[in-house]
Amino acid sequence: MTYLVTAASGHLGRLVVESLLTTGVESAEIVAGARNPERIQDLAARGIRTIELDYDRPGTVAAALEGIDRILLISGSAPGARVAGHLNVIEAATAAGVERIVYTSAPQATTFDWALGADHRATEEAITASGLPAVIVRNNWYTENYAGDLERAAESGVIASSVGDARIASASRVDYAAGAAVALVEDGHVGNVYEFAGDVAWTFDDLAAAASVVLGREVTYQRLTSEQLAAGLEAAGADSGTVGFVVGLDQAIAGGVLSGTDGTLARLIGRPTTPLIDGLRALRA
């Protein structure tokens, strides 16, 4: 069996490679693809085959998929400009006859109307249309997404957001990586769409309380309106497109897009997901 991990130079891709190795997959069975293979030479030194794989250059995608049995397609990082690259991978995987594709999607990609979901909905639909045996893993928020909030809170004692009392079922990247590895390696997952999330859905008051413990100082949650958030972003120099996107994200979160948690991720990885406070502590390590 040969497993291809795309975007292997990124944080999630690297952790998936590590998870595969801990599940007993041999290094010789793993292929790590990256736009710039020089960034994953440390993986090559461990016996993992590395290869150039640029979603936007179909020739590199086709070459990377030669001899591959199963592929993890980690979504591109540029909202609004990644679907074409995803389609290149799906087309090449179909032509290569891979036996399984696992795709990292977004929460409620096909059931909640939010800006971040559009690219993922299109990609999921393309995978379905291709007929490829697939597993969709819809990753909730990474706790690491709050690194910036934690750093600002260390200085100001405040975490500000316009999500109101919404709940967020975040988990740490290492948890999602372990889930992706399970979906890639284990039998019985093809055809499933998993809403991966942390075990606990927390509020921003909970986030502020956890930050207080981690930072050793009082941190409070400042509730903003959408208009206040937009004004702050504009004052910081953000362009109108960025302002609209960020405000829209908070509105979607306030609407509950990240609140769902059913224990699926913990069940698949065989352990509880990383608690919020532990995830925040890791950011300060």
Distance CA 158, CA 145 (A): 16
Report the pLDDT value the prediction gives residue 79, as an integer from 0 to 100: 84
Report which of 189, 198, 207 is spatially closest to residue 271, judged by C-alpha positions: 198
Report the pLDDT value the prediction gives residue 90, as an integer from 0 to 100: 98
Which stretches of the chain score pLDDT less than 50?
A: none
Report the pLDDT value the prediction gives residue 133, as an integer from 0 to 100: 98
Report the pLDDT value the prediction gives residue 215, as an integer from 0 to 100: 98
Q: Which residues are CB-contacts of 265 (< 8 A; sequence separation ≥ 6)? A: 171, 175, 176, 179, 194, 196, 197, 198, 199, 273
Report the pLDDT value the prediction gives residue 81, as an integer from 0 to 100: 86
Residue-level length of the chain? 285
Report the pLDDT value the prediction gives residue 9, as an integer from 0 to 100: 97
Distance CA 172, CA 77 (A): 18
Report the pLDDT value the prediction gives residue 6, as an integer from 0 to 100: 98
